[in-house]
A = this chain, B = another copy of it.
Amino acid sequence: MRERICSAAMDLFLREGFERTSIRRIAAAIGYTPGAIYSYFGDKDDILYAIHEQGFARLGLLLHTLDGGGLSARERFERLGELYLRFAFENPQYYDLMFIKDRTAKKIEELGQWDVGLDTYDFVRAVVRESMRDGALPTGDVEAATFALWASVHGMASLVIRSRCKMIPPDALSTVVAEAYRWTMRAMPAQEPAHPPRARGRVRRSGR
A152 to B158, CA, bound (A): 11
Q: Is A179 an interface residue (CB 8 A)?
A: yes
A147 to B153, CA, bound (A): 11
Q: Is A15 an interface residue (CB 8 A)?
A: no
The answer on a CB contact under 8 Å between A148 and B118 is no
Closest to A125 in B: B167
A182 to B188, CA, bound (A): 12
Stretch with Cβ within 8 A of B (4 or more), from A24-32, A56-64, A136-144: A136-144
Closest to A114 in B: B166
Closest to A188 in B: B187
- Which of these, B138, B140, B164, B184, contacts A99 with CB under 8 Å? B164
Residues from 93 to 116 in A contacting B, C-beta threshold 8 Å: 99-102, 105-106, 108-109, 114
Q: Tell me what chain A mostly uses at the interface: helix, strand, loop, or mixed.
A: helix
Q: Is A177 an interface residue (CB 8 A)?
A: yes
CB distance from A45 to the nearest CB of B (A): 11
Q: Is A87 an interface residue (CB 8 A)?
A: no
- Which of these, B117, B118, B158, contacts A155 with CB under 8 Å? B158
Q: Is A194 an interface residue (CB 8 A)?
A: no
Residue numbers in B under 8 Å from A50 (CB-CB): none
The answer on a CB contact under 8 Å between A158 and B154 is yes
Q: Is A126 an interface residue (CB 8 A)?
A: no
Closest to A101 in B: B162
Q: Is A66 an interface residue (CB 8 A)?
A: no
Residue of A105, A117, A158, A189 with most partner-chain B CB within 10 A: A158
Which 7 residue pairs are nearest across A and B when measured between Cβ atoms? Answer: A155-B155, A151-B155, A144-B179, A148-B180, A105-B163, A151-B156, A154-B155
